[in-house]
Amino acid sequence: MGRVALVTGGTRGIGAACSKALKDAGYNVAASYAGNDEAANAFKKETGIAVFKWDVGDYAACEKGVAAVEAELGPIEVLVNNAGISRDAMLNKMTPEQWSEVMRTNLDSVFNVTRQVINGMRDRKFGRIISISSINGQQGMLGLSNYCAAKAGMIGFTRAVALEGARKGITANAIAPGYVATELLSGVSEKVMEAIVGQIPVGRLGEAEEVARCVVFLAADEAAWITGSTISINGGQLAD
């Protein structure tokens, strides 16, 4: 049996691609999700990957959720912090609820879930913590102050945890994808989509599977000397 990997928000979009790629690479994968039972059950039926429902923005729920995963599959050795939402608005019109919802799901969740697995990783002297940030955590974007702040926070968190885990066999890295063809972009107009693609030197959106391949690489034993890094996958849109 392979190492146990948990992917938060792991039943849709980039998370689903990560879950599938890790399973194909031999990991025993658990995928958490927040509320779409129909999509989660369809994903489980299609892939055979175990799914677990809880709110990653709730610390107590994360305690129970991680305990359930480990009771069923064993100790979590690879964590992919992927769960995320967007609530877009210009700052002068953004509500406190829009701000707090994004920070809770996109950033608080990274602490909430990582905190549950870090001691076990330290005890076993092995761990891989991979957080899915964004190109918008590396640059600003109109109407996304909440999202940009959360994704930038993930990068700072990653760097600190990398230092803390370095002597314990734990690596922590972030991946910052550019614009990827997922349902997050499904409501974008054709005109806006043309503008987005026009900013990408390779001339296309990314694919979720391209991000997932990077996750599998960072999760491997052979990636032990890569830690505290942010890997940009954006088709050349932002040189890092």
- Is 179 labeled as catalytic in the residue annotation? no
pLDDT digits (tens, 9 = 90+) for 179-205: 998 876 666 778 888 888 999 999 999
Question: What does the pLDDT read at residue 240?
Answer: 56
What is the b/e burial string over 132-161, where b = at least 16 CB atoms within 10 angstroms of the residue's CB?
bbbbbbbeeeeebbbbbbbbbbbbebbbeb
| Amino acid letter for position 24 | D
Q: Measured between alpha carbons, how far is 18 from 210 in angstroms, rounded to an integer?
A: 9
Q: What is the mean pLDDT of the chain?
A: 95
Question: What does the pLDDT read at residue 116?
Answer: 98
Whether 49 has a pLDDT exceeding 80, the answer reads yes
Q: Which of 27, 33, 147, 179 is catalytic?
A: 147
Question: What does the pLDDT read at residue 193?
Answer: 85
Q: Measured between alpha carbons, how far is 186 from 182 in angstroms, rounded to an integer?
A: 7
Q: Please report the domains of the chain, with CATH numbers, ordered by start residue.
A: 4-233 (3.40.50.720)
Strand order in the sheet with 28-33: 50-53, 28-33, 4-7, 76-81, 127-132, 170-177, 230-233
Whether 140 has a pLDDT exceeding 90, the answer reads no
What percent of the chain lies above the pLDDT cut of 90? 89
Q: Name the nearest CA neighbour of 132 among 115, 153, 163.
A: 153
Helix/strand/coil for 53? strand
pLDDT digits (tens, 9 = 90+) for 59-73: 999 999 999 999 999
Confidence of residue 54 (pLDDT cuts 50, 70, 90): very high
Q: Measured between alpha carbons, how far is 90 from 108 in angstroms, rounded to an integer?
A: 22
- Please state the rounded mean pLDDT for residues 11-38: 97
Confidence of residue 238 (pLDDT cuts 50, 70, 90): confident
Q: What is the DSSP letter of 141?
A: -
- Please state the rounded mean pLDDT for residues 166-182: 95
pLDDT digits (tens, 9 = 90+) for 207-216: 999 999 999 9
Count of alpha carbons within 13 angstroms of residue 163, beta-carbon side:
5
Question: What does the pLDDT read at residue 129?
Answer: 98
pLDDT digits (tens, 9 = 90+) for 89-115: 999 999 999 999 999 999 999 999 999
Question: What does the pLDDT read at residue 27?
Answer: 98
pTM: 0.95
19 touches 33 (CB < 8 A): no
